[in-house]
């Protein structure tokens, strides 16, 4: 799954949506002055930037498996400790943070429960672990229309091996419980983007990012053209504002 693209390319694809989730997720995690926070799978830094505004760069650390994204966050947010690492192997000592967060990351973890356990390990007792994932199961992700069109042409198409871990109602909270977190709470976050037309929606999908990019690159030109036409048919039947929703969960470290 390709996320080894430039930060600018990823931001064209997703930032308009993900930036709307960052503040509300930090609110759910009760991020406030005097804390140390970890952003797991920080991407180009949408959530990291919010944490820096609330806590200061010296109190924020981040990990990211994409080298290009990690470099972009170092450039964007000087003073933040950014390490090239995966969620399942966090390079920090036990009880290092007051809060650990993962925005739009759990569904891509090779072992989501293990990743959440690692987040819990590096968070102090009583601290908060928080995460959110798009509601792919309910068809409310920014790319749900794309996958609907893809399945219209080929019913064997499977977005993220189903819907992605935690992407159905109740699944993310269940993963938190499985990881041993207490006081688990589930909620819903929303994002909306108004487009000028179909091309503004379609062009970012062609940038080779994530599952959408991988799928488009796997297609022959004729199939890709038919998919584009089907997407445009579905697009013209809906309002120009793309409404998206994400499941969020928080839990306390025992």
If pLDDT is split at 50, 70 and 90, which confidence band does 1 have?
Answer: very low
Here the contacts of 30-35 (C-beta below 8 Å, separation 24 or greater) are: 30/99, 30/128, 31/55, 31/99, 31/101, 35/59, 35/97, 35/98, 35/99
pTM higher than the cut 0.95:
no
pLDDT greater than 80 at residue 5 = no
Q: What tens digit of pLDDT does each residue of 6-58 get?
A: 777 787 788 899 999 999 999 999 999 999 999 999 999 999 999 999 999 99
The residue with greater pLDDT, 58 or 195, is 58
**Domain 7-141+160-194+243-252 listed as CATH 3.40.50.970:** no
If pLDDT is split at 50, 70 and 90, which confidence band does 187 have?
Answer: very high
What are the extents of the domains in the chain?
7-141+160-194+243-252
Rounded CA-CA distance 191/21 in Å is: 7
């Amino acid at each position: 799954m390709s996320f080894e693209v430039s930060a600018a390319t990823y931001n064209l694809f997703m930032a308009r949506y993900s930036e709307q989730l960052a503040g509300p997720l930090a609110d759910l995690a009760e991020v406030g002055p005097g804390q140390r926070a970890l952003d797991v799978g920080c991407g180009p830094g949408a959530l990291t930037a919010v944490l820096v505004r609330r806590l200061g760069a010296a109190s924020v650390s981040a990990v990211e498996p994409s080298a290009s994204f990690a470099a972009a966050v170092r450039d964007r947010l000087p003073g933040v400790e950014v390490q090239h690492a995966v969620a399942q192997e966090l390079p920090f000592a036990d009880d290092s943070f007051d809060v650990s967060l993962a925005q739009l990351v759990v569904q891509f973890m090779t072992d989501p429960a293990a990743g959440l356990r690692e987040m819990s390990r590096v968070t102090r007792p009583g601290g908060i672990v928080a995460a959110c994932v798009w509601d792919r199961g309910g068809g409310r992700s920014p790319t749900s229309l794309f996958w609907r069109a893809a399945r219209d042409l080929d019913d064997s198409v499977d977005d993220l091996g189903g819907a992605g871990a935690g992407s159905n109602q109740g699944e993310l909270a269940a993963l938190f419980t499985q990881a041993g977190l207490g006081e688990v709470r589930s909620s819903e976050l929303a994002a909306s983007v108004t487009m000028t037309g179909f091309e503004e929606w379609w062009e970012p999908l062609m940038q080779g990012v994530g599952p959408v990019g991988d799928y488009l690159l796997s297609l022959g030109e004729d199939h890709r053209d038919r998919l584009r036409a089907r997407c445009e048919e579905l697009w013209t039947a809906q309002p120009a504002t793309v409404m998206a929703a994400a499941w969020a969960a928080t839990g306390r470290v025992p």
